[in-house]
Each structure stands twice: as C-alpha cells, then as structure tokens.
Chain A
Amino acid sequence: MARTPAELVGANPGPSFEITMDGRPVTALPGQSVAAALWSAGILAWRTTRHTDRPRGAFCGIGQCYDCLATINGEPNRRACLVPARPGDVIITQEGHGHARLSV
C-alpha cells in the first residue's frame, strides 16, 4: 500500500526548491500550486477574514471559492490553489481584503 500520494503515482519530480510563507521556508515541487506546497508543509491557513479576523486557506481547490487568496510576491488576491509555485516565491498571509484590484 502506498504511503504517500507521490509513491502512489510513481512521481519522480524535478528538483525541489524553496518558497517562503511569512518568512518561514517551505519546500515546493515543480508543478505544485502554492496551495499544494503549503499543504505539504502542513500549513492550512494563509489568509485572515475581513470582519472577524479568522484564518482561512484552500477550500474548493479549483479556483471557485476564493478562500485561498494570498499575497504572492507583493500581489494581493492571488488564488493560491491556481498559481504554480516558483523558486523564491514570497507568500504573505493576506489580511482583510488585500487591496482589491479586481472589479468584483
């Protein structure tokens, strides 16, 4: 029986790299989304809500719920479940509404 998802699908990923979450180093695999890299480090929350300041992270996993919004390399409101992790990415917990730049 496989013990990890990677073993199950016989993954042989390219070399891993580092990103940071609020300054803390996190290891990511090429092809993983930012959310997936955070999950594999056991991090489930990277946003706090506007009204009650509660922690949130990925919920729908497919770009529909917008619960996974993060500030990525200085840009707020990025959907971490869709954005692929790149070496050296700087992820910051997004507080409140970031600076909503989009029209909704």
Chain B
Amino acid sequence: MPASASDPYDLAVIGAGSAGLAGAVTAAELGLSVALLDGSPQHGGQFYRHPAPSMGAARPEALHHDWAAFAELRRRLERSDVSHLSGHHVWTVTKEDHGPWAVHAVTGVDGTAERSVRVRARTVLLATGAYERQLPFPGWTLPGVVGAGGAQAMLKSGLVLPGKRVVVAGSGPLLLAVATSLAAAGAQVPAVIEASGYLGYARHPRALAANPHKLVEAAVHGAALLRHRVRLRTRSAVTEVHGTDRVEAVTVTRLDRDWRPVRGASRQIECDALAVGHGLAPQIELATALGCATRPVADGTSALALDGLQETSVRGLWAAGETGGIGGAQLARSEGELAGLAAAGRLYGHPVREERVRALQRRRDRMRAFADAMAISHAPAAGWTGWLTGDTEVCRCEEVTARSIREAVTDFGARDARTVKLLTRAGMGWCQGRMCGAAVACLAAREGAVEPPAERRPFAVPVPLSALASLDEPTGIRPDAAPGVDD
C-alpha cells in the first residue's frame, strides 16, 4: 500500500487474469505498492474462472489446464499486500499532465452499484484480456446458440450446460478445449465443426518445434474427444440454425479454401444447443482511447504494439497477455512478470534482473511465434459472408440485418464499419460493436482490404450518468477511504 492515504499507488493493474496476477505479484514482491482492479468478484480471469466458494467445488481443476500455475499465483497474491479491488469495472483511464494516472471504475457485480471509484497510480498495467470474435449466420440469435467461450465460462463458474446435446463450431483451438470440457461435464457433443483445417500449422514447423507443449495439449484434447466420441469436422461451418423458440438442429456445410459454402455439401445435425466462436480478439479499448499504438494481427484483429519490456507507445502504461495478441495463459504469465519487472525498474531503478528478463523474453518470443502461426491458420477467409442471407441479423443489439448493411455499402457508399454504423446503427447498441464489429468491417470492405474495426468506444463499460458527472469534480480524499482510492 502507498505510504500515506494521499499517495498514489506505484502500479495499478487492470484485470486479474493470468497476466494481471503475474504482473501484480511480481511488482509487489519488488516492493511496489499495487492496486489490482477486476470486474469479477473472483480473480483468475476467463481462463481460470471457477465457481464461487459457496459451490464447494472439491476439484475445480477438473475443468482446467495448468491449475497449479494459478494456485501458485493465488498463493503469492495472498502473501502480498496487493490491494485487490474486485467488483470494480474500469471504464476509463486518464492522466493529468505531470500527475499520476487515474483509473476510474464503477462498482458492483454488473457495475450498477453506482459507486464510482478513482484509483491513482504512477504506472498502469493493462491486462484486460480478450473477448470472443463472432461471425453471424442465419439463426445465430436463437436461444440455445451461445458463445463457445460463453458456454465454457458458464460451465466453469456456474456448473451449468446450455443443453444436453451441444454442437461446437467456429474456428480456433479454443473449440477443442470447449468441446472437451462440455463432454467431460456430461454433455453429448456430436461434433466439433472447424472452418479451417489443422494443416496450416504444418507450414510453421519452427514455431511448432519450439513449442512442444502445444502439441502435447493438442494430443490431450484429441484423445479426450476420441474418448467422448466427438467427431471433428474441418473445413466446415454451421450455416444455419433450425428451431422456432430455441435450437433444434443445425445445418453444417462444407467450405472451400476461401470459406465459401460448397453447394449441396450440407447435412443436418440434431442438437439443443450450439456453442460457437471464431477465436478471440484483444480487448484494448482503454488503451486505444489513450492513443496507444496498435499492430495488425494476421487474423484480422488489432493488438497493442508493445516494446521488448511490454510498454505501450504511451510512457508509463504497460500491457500484457491477450491485449498484445492472443497467445494463451502461459504467455500471459511471462508477459505479466516482464511488465512487473519493467515497472519496478522504471520507478525505483531496481536492478532489472537481466538474466530473468532475458529468459522471459525468450519464452515470450517463442510463444508469440506459435500464436502468430495459430492466428494465420484460423483466420477467417473472405468467403464466410457467403453463408449470410439478407435477413441474417449481424448486429444482435440493434437487430440490423445483412441486407441493410449491404445497402449501406452499395447504395450509400459506406466503406468502413464506422460509416455503416452511422447509417444503420450496427454497433451502436449495448455491446458497442463487440459482437458485430468484425463482421461489419468485413461486409463494409467490399473487394478492398478489410480495415480492422477501430477499437474505440467512448467507454469500456456503460456507466451511470452520476459517474460521468463526478469526473469533473475535484475529488477529495476521504479520511476513511483506502489509501490511494477515492470514492
């Protein structure tokens, strides 16, 4: 904790997943005062999501990989004096000219407790993770269609399944993990439908050879799928969902190399739920709002551009984990630790532990190379728009159809997601384009190159007007407030 209540923290970490936890404990063990903010009541992030203690889970690790690594981080967190601010939904980060950073959050399980909190800190580590990328198809708004990551999240924390017979579809390695856990938890999983092939990895032999643990992981999933009699169908997609008020079946269609549906190559699979997702996209809007530079990733998403020590293009603002590109929990831990070391070095000129830094950097580069190969292998190809009908809703919140987006492009000359949004309201609803942004950008691109959706949102979470109003007020320090934290 800071020495006195009016002092800022040395480091504010936003996000308590693998990267954030590693960064927070590393910095705290080097003597920094650290505040760790996270929206969820429990730490662990999405990867290590687990049931509340009141569920009395004796073996939470049964739904996880590498639980031991999380247990170790948790043990270090408990021994540290990191201020863990759970249930804090960060909606913006600001900085005065020569002053500290201010991290603004609203509290409560879903950010509606209407208490706004400002945490001041000399440096900030963004570890906000990712959200799932979705591509629309006819029927994807029907109840029973859930995000693949969503099904996984609800299972890990609530111990529930969306149905008894669940098809898993989309693209990316997450699908295998989701199918394995759904099946282990008692769901029937008739098939995993992967739009890419797995042969793409073979084109990156060096990345594969340098990451043998990834091959082991794949083999473990493969064996589990066999055991549960789950069929893996590659180069195919769910192109339609059937049912009136909920999922009754899905149509699976073979895709050509460009992800265009092959005519006449369809079959129906009966199921009562569909878990679907097309990989993950970095969640970086807090950083882009501050002007941090981004880099395009091979799968069409944008990630933060970071230097060798995880610092963004804005001095004093570090990032780790999926914000720098999707790469998994192990990579996130290495990056979090690097960022923690770097922040400590900057603030207190700690001997930077060069050996450790170099080792972490080597691990990071090795795993990043694999992540890039993976991104290329599962990147959506342009032909996916061939499975849309005019009536397919693309924007779930505002119920904007593919037809109206195409009209905005052909009749009104829209060329990017932003113009489409202004003309159709696609991406203007509650989720602010998180669910439809990728799809709208593709539809707006016509024959030209797809511009990655601009990850700019006015706020990272919806905020009560009262919280906005309090932004302008000079906030005093209450004597009873936690150090460095203003109400």
Quick check: is B412 within 8 A (CB to CB) of the other chain?
Answer: no
Interface of B is mostly: loop
| Residue B39 CB within 8 A of the other chain | yes
> Which chain B residue shows the least CB distance to A10?
B58
B431 touches A66 (CB 8 A): yes
Partner of A59, one of B51, B147, B462: B147
Complex formed: what's the CA distance from A62 to B47 in Å?
Answer: 12
A58 → chain B closest CB, angstroms = 7
Residues of chain B within 8 A (CB-CB) of A13 are 54-56
Question: In the assembled complex, which residues on chain A have CB atoms less than 8 Å from the CB atom of B463?
Answer: 102-104
Distance in Å from the Cβ of B182 to the closest Cβ of chain A? Answer: 9
Most buried by B among A13, A52, A61, A64: A61
Q: A2-B185, A14-B54, A58-B150 are in contact. Are A8 and B63 (CB under 8 A)?
A: yes
Q: Report chain B residues within 8 Å CB of A82.
A: 109-110
Cα A8 to Cα B60 in complex, Å, equals: 9
B186 touches A64 (CB 8 A): no
Contact of B186 among A3, A10, A40, A66 (CB under 8 A): A3
Known: A36-B160, A44-B162. A56 touches B58 (CB 8 A): no
CB contacts under 8 Å to A, within B127-182, are 131-132, 141, 143-147, 149-155, 157-162
- The minimal Cβ–Cβ distance linking B162 to chain A, given in whole angstroms, is 6
When the two chains form their complex, are residues A65 and B435 in contact, meaning their CB atoms are under 8 A apart?
yes
Q: Are B145 and A59 in contact (CB under 8 A)?
A: yes
Contact present for B396 and A30 (CB under 8 Å)? no
B62 beta carbon closer than 8 Å to chain A: yes
How many chain-B residues does the 8 Å CB contact rule pick out?
Answer: 62
**Interface presence of B348 (CB below 8 A):** no
Does A5 touch B at the CB level, under 8 Å? yes
Q: Who on chain B is nearest to A66 by CB?
A: B430
Residues of B within 8 A of A37 (CB): 158
B245 near A45 (CB under 8 angstroms)?
yes
Task: Flag if A84 contacts B55 (CB, 8 Å).
Answer: no
Which of A32, A54, A69 is in CB contact (< 8 Å) with B141?
A54
Residues in A with CB closer than 8 Å to B150 are 58-62, 65
Q: Which of B159, B398, B431 contacts A6 (CB 8 A)?
A: B159
Could you give, for residues 1-36 of chain A, a 1 whenever the CB lies within 8 Å of some chain B CB and a 0 otherwise? Answer: 111111111111110000000000000011111011
Q: Chain B residues near A54 (CB, 8 Å)?
A: 141, 399
From the candidates B46, B399, B434, name the one contacting A50 in the complex (CB within 8 A): B399
- Residues from 18 to 52 in B contacting A, C-beta threshold 8 Å: 39, 41, 46, 51-52
Kindly identify which residue among B53, B55, B186 contacts A4, using a CB–CB cutoff of 8 Å: B186
Provided the pairs A36-B160, A56-B141, A102-B463 are in contact, do residues A63 and B434 lie with their beta carbons within 8 angstroms?
A: no
| B399 x A63 contact (CB < 8 A) | no
Which residues of A are interface residues toward B (Cβ below 8 A)?
1-14, 29-33, 35-37, 39-40, 44-45, 49-52, 54-67, 69, 75, 78-79, 81-84, 101-104
Those 7 A-B pairs whose CB atoms lie nearest each other, nearest first = A36-B158, A31-B52, A61-B150, A10-B58, A66-B430, A12-B56, A31-B54
CB-defined A-B contacts under 8 Å, sample of 27: A1-B184, A2-B184, A5-B160, A9-B57, A9-B58, A11-B56, A12-B58, A29-B55, A29-B159, A31-B52, A35-B154, A36-B154, A36-B158, A37-B158, A44-B143, A45-B245, A45-B246, A59-B150, A59-B396, A60-B150, A60-B435, A61-B152, A65-B431, A65-B435, A75-B112, A84-B41, A103-B463
